Amino acid sequence: MQNPRQTYRLRARASGREAVAPAEPGGVYVDRETGEEMEPVTAVLPMAPSASALLRTPDNLRACRRCDQLIGVDVSDCPYCGLRQPPLA
Ligand SMILES: [Zn+2]
């Protein structure tokens, strides 16, 4: 399960409204509510391609019980040591 798409923080210049979404070079992104064009301002973790499709926030992470690395809760095998992860409770 590899996530090939990079997620970015997008910002509308005039209002400063922000969104987090996958983006591609040359794409045009429009705020659904205001119609403003949004520009990618920074890539967010994890960097693509990654084993996890979830943003790297505390809620989306757990520690591998063998190697203690933080990994996405949506990852079935630890990308560092390969250990199969138990299902979430
Ligand atoms: Zn591990």
pLDDT band (50, 70, 90) for residue 74: very high
What is the model's pTM? Answer: 0.79
How far apart CA 22 and CA 7 sit, in angstroms, is: 4
Range 18-34 average pLDDT? 93
CA 84 to ligand 1 center in whole angstroms:
8
Which residues are placed with Cβ below 5 angstroms of ligand 1, an ion?
64, 66-67, 78, 80-81, 83
Range 69-74 average pLDDT? 95
CA 63 to ligand 1 center in whole angstroms:
8
33 φ, ψ to 5°?
A: -90, -40
CA 8 to ligand 1 center in whole angstroms:
27
Residue 27 has pLDDT above 70, yes or no: yes
Percent of the chain with pLDDT over 70: 99
Range 17-22 average pLDDT? 95
